Structure 1
Amino acid sequence: MKQVLVTLMVSATIQFAFGPEGRALAAFDLVQHGAPTCSIVIAEEPTPAARLAALELQCHIMQMTGAEIPIRSEGEHIDGRRILVGESSATRQLGLRGVNFQPQEYLVAFRQDAIILMGRDWQDTEVNRKAQGRSTTDQTLQQLRHRIDYWKAVGYPHRSAGEMELPGIFDDQGTCLAVYDFLERFCGVRWYGPSQLNTVIPSRTTLTVAGADVRRSPALKHRSALAGGSWPFLRGQWGDYTQEQVYLHWRRMRQGGERWAGNHTFHRNTIKTVFNDPEYQCKNPRGLGSQLCYTNPKLISQVAQMARDYFDGKGELPEGWKAMGDYFAIVPDDNIHLCTCEACQALLEKGRDRKTGFFSSGEMSEYWFSFVNAVAREVRRTHPDNYIATLAYWSYAFAPDFDLEPNVSVAPCLHTCYYPVHAEMKENDLRFYRQWQEKSDAPMFLWVYYHHPMEPALIDRWKCFPHVMVHETARAMQMFI
């Protein structure tokens, strides 16, 4: 079966900017000879995304031209041309409302007297604030609504207006997407890292833009990469930066998108606090406390009920668990000290001949995905539209011989950082990736590695040739989009 990746979105729709009679619109002046020629307009109570987007637009144009385009609210009297950032009474008069955009969809539009930059934005309501979820990096949705002093983060501490809350990483922020697209596409801005040193902003005294309307969504539906920004190889590539700059950089890189999480969920912390029933503890002394007996019916029932409770919005997820949106993750700990009971060993025996000689193999696939299927089967009875998420990783990278339940969503783990130099590893990866394409019609995500060999080099202090692989990365993305 042909697998449709959940990491894909609908194709971009591009509409050319024409006036009522079909004539192309004239160029739009934002700054002339160092003086602003328009105003940025936001709602009286802008969404978190619109608030940040307006500041980002103002700041980057100021850094580019020296001119400060004023930010005004919709209730003020405004003369001249306007840049409408986010939904407001002005966009509604044009028939444009955020609620009419699809998730992650945004618009960059040119009109005779206005530029429109808006999209689908998360609304700050009590219900939205209460939404549950823990990310792949074990952060709650609320923890991912970072707070920063914006002007301090961008290098103008004297302009500080105190802290502001950024749009959550996994909250809709279409207006931010529109502004970042505009800054890249029409202003030539590029962000290669979080600090000013990593940012490219062209210098000019006059800024005039023109082009086609763009209404689209990102091609990759879920985008997440080391949200903490603390891995050594990032420090090596980016140099000095602050945590606030990292938080801002993730928005500029459009991190977030559809809510999904997948990482190790059964580990010492969750086994100690949640899955501590003696009946289903791992019979292998080396795995005791980090693995469980994944054939035990009581464990299957408990995990299935935990998933139901999550989907029903009952209680908080335990620290160390991962689940977001329609996806509840189950992934074993990062070791192979597995249970030695008769039932577990019978399934493990089926994978003895599935070694590949590479990190990714199928020795554990029959065992692990039997457990995943059992949980998914229980959950599907009450929540057929939700998914059990898991990884295809290490000794359970390859698909099992049996069919998966339709509500199992798999994320193959691919070593894309080695593809330029290790053709055999690439081929092994693509073998199990294609297996999963054929095996399941459920949404698929990808976990791609890009931290080798620079990461171990920085940790162990050996010399590593700079691992910049822009062309190979582009080719890999084209494979999966």
Structure 2
Amino acid sequence: MRLLGILLMAGLLLAATGVQADQVTLVDKGQPTAAIVIAQEPTRAAQLAAAELQWHIEQITGITMPVVKDNRVVRGTQILVGESAATVALGLHSADFKPQEYLVRVRPDVIVLMGRDKDDRQPFDYANHTTWPGWYDEQATTYAAYDFLEKLCDVRWYLPTELGICLPRRPNLAVSEIEIRRVPAMTTRDTWRGGNFPADLCGDSVTGGHPIPPLEPREMKLWWHRLRVVGGEARSANHSLYHYYELYWEPSTNPRLAQLFRGKKPEWFAQGYEGKPPQMCYTNQELIQQVIQEARDYFDRGGYPPEIRQLCNAPQGAKWGENYFAVVPMDNSSYCKCPQCQALLDAQADKQQFSSGHWSDYMFTFVNEIARGIAETHPDKQISAIAYASYAWPPRHVKVEPNVAVSMCLHTRNVYGLSLQDNDHALLDAWFQESPTRPKGVYMYFCFPALNARQQGFRCFPGFFAHSLVKEMQRYHQAGVTAITYEPSYLANGQRSALMDQLEMLIAAKMADDPTMDGNAYIDEFFTRYYGRAA
């Protein structure tokens, strides 16, 4: 009965992917009958895709398939990776593809794996991850290669390193004729990268006397590429104003950075507190004009200037995104006590949950001021805001400007907190009703309870939630969410866990890419293939 079920599932998979019965042989009895073809000056994305394709075929068959330039004569099937003279002859140009779009085409004499790539043709070294495409670089040719390996060569990546790779071992390799041309459903599929996995992939949430070294950066980066959480649209949002303390409150304690101090502006900071204020005064017009100018400079210069990025708690990385500028307050609810700010408190908003709308009118009034200023000079750009804590719900008395993208911070892992989940679902629906077309994202907290365990020095049971996450991802798609970021579970020594969120990371990345995927069937396959007879 189980065999019958497997055969039926396989038949459904073949029908769904359009795979035909005709087979194209790539390796026959341990001998290659095909070659990988790249341009004479290939993009870095095409070179990474070709290297990954070659490596995986070698793991499956034991043979090293040749990689040749497109000015060479190839006997047998050509596997065209990335744009080249050969793809141009077929009428296929990388620039004609949409952002993140890719093509997998298998025909008897030629296989095409290509997509929209950044025109970066600098030297590439498979052994040196610093020569690979950047995190947000266009690299859809790699998507084509990974889709080909997954769908047609039966490869799976369940963890970083070879420990997590499942693939067949056989002397022959043939693939079915097929054509797939598509764009990932969510334009941003991202993860919080503040800390590597431990080298043993286990680590500990309790700090001990023998810290486990981090996983090699190359293995980390391979994992993210194979998961396809790289190459998406850069669209980040996080607490964005902490650097104002060192610019306008008091000089940095670092003598070199202290030179960046621009002069004390106490009126820009939250009123009514002793010592260092916990927030800004978000109704102060001088502050508003300063943030508007900073946003304009950011867009004009392609990101923050280097000196700003050196400051403590400065914005993460060079940019929030080419088309986005984050406007997010400090991470607390101790807001300004001046009459103008207090007047915007929505005292009637429900405060029963962590995520409420108590300060939504106040915060989105400030966000709107910046958005209107940017719309005057940069009408094609967006302000990134987050819906979080006491400003999580849409404001009740303020209409959010159309050039504001909102990322909702949701407790995706807390499946046992039913009232918390109900509130998150209502919040998600409220933002959809507020504007079905507004760019919306979800920042998913995978990090609890591990963060509590790390902070308090105990070891926690991780709380698996894969089946629940399948439903949540479906819900996010229905609500028009086009961007996700997940914050992985914490470990000691600044590391993140590879195991506490292992299956959930896979589900999030794959369902963000393809909402038609049967997430529950994938979970069943994971346990069967990853654990084998132990499942």
The bucket for the TM-score relative to the shorter chain is 0.7 to 0.9
In structure 2, C-alpha distance between the alignment counterparts of 1:71 and 1:389, rounded to whole Å? 43
2:237 corresponds to 1:241: no
CA contact (8 A) 2:196 2:220 kept: no
Tell me how far 1:287 sits from its aligned partner.
7.8
Q: Which amino acid aligns with 1:262?
A: A
Q: Which amino acid aligns with 1:203?
A: R
Tell me how far 1:235 sits from its aligned partner.
4.8
Q: Which residue of 2 aligns with 1:117?
A: 113
Q: Deviations over 1:291-335 (max 9, x none)?
A: 211000111111112212222236734322352121111111111
**How many matched pairs?**
428
Q: Which residue of 1 aligns with 2:191?
A: 225
From 344, 349, 353, give the equivalent of 1:347.
344
SS in 1 for 2:441: coil
CA contact (8 A) 1:233 1:458 kept: no
Q: Which amino acid aligns with 2:76?
A: G
Greater RCO (CA < 8 Å, at least 6 residues apart): 1
SS in 1 for 2:446: coil
Q: Which amino acid aligns with 2:216?
A: T
Q: Which residue of 2 aligns with 1:408?
A: 404
CA contact (8 A) 2:272 2:337 kept: yes
SS in 2 for 1:124: coil
Runs of 4+ in 1 over 6 A off after TM superposition: 231-234, 237-240
Tell me how far 1:289 sits from its aligned partner.
5.2
Evaluate the alpha carbon distance shift between residue 290 and residue 79 of structure 1 in structure 2; reply closer, same or farther with a 3 A threshold: farther
Q: Which amino acid aligns with 1:389?
A: S
From 83, 89, 109, give the equivalent of 2:85.
89
TM-score by length of 1: 0.82
2:249 corresponds to 1:254: no
CA contact (8 A) 2:47 2:124 kept: no
2:245 corresponds to 1:266: no
2:286 corresponds to 1:298: yes
SS in 1 for 2:377: coil
Evaluate the alpha carbon distance shift between residue 263 and residue 280 of structure 1 in structure 2; reply closer, same or farther with a 3 A threshold: same
Evaluate the alpha carbon distance shift between residue 343 and residue 234 of structure 1 in structure 2; reply closer, same or farther with a 3 A threshold: farther
From 409, 418, 425, give the equivalent of 1:423.
418
Tell me how far 1:205 sits from its aligned partner.
1.7
TM-score by length of 2: 0.74
Q: What percentage of aligned pairs have identical amino acids?
A: 41
SS in 2 for 1:388: strand
Tell me how far 1:224 sits from its aligned partner.
0.7
Report 1:25-424 matches (<5 A).
26-124=22-120, 150-151=126-127, 165-230=131-196, 235-236=201-202, 241-256=215-230, 257-267=232-242, 269-273=243-247, 277-285=265-273, 288=276, 290-313=278-301, 316-317=304-305, 318-319=308-309, 320-321=314-315, 323-348=320-345, 350=346, 352-401=347-396, 402-419=398-415, 421-424=416-419
From 439, 442, 446, give the equivalent of 2:442.
446
Q: Deviations over 1:97-134 (max 9, x none)?
A: 10110000000001221111000001128xxx9xxxxx
Tell me how far 1:407 sits from its aligned partner.
0.9
In structure 2, C-alpha distance between the alignment counterparts of 1:121 and 1:190, rounded to whole Å? 24
In structure 1, C-alpha distance between the alignment counterparts of 2:276 and 2:83, rounded to whole Å? 54
Q: Which amino acid aligns with 2:235?
A: W
CA contact (8 A) 1:25 1:112 kept: no
In structure 1, C-alpha distance between the alignment counterparts of 2:175 and 2:302, rounded to whole Å? 50
Tell me how far 1:400 sits from its aligned partner.
0.7
Q: Which amino acid aligns with 2:227?
A: M
Unaligned runs of 5+ in 2: 1-15, 205-211, 250-263, 478-535
Q: Deviations over 1:419-467 (max 9, x none)?
A: 2x22211110011111111113321111111122234335544343343
Q: Deviations over 1:33-73 (max 9, x none)?
A: 22222110001111111010000001111111111101111
Tell me how far 1:223 sits from its aligned partner.
0.9
SS in 2 for 1:446: strand
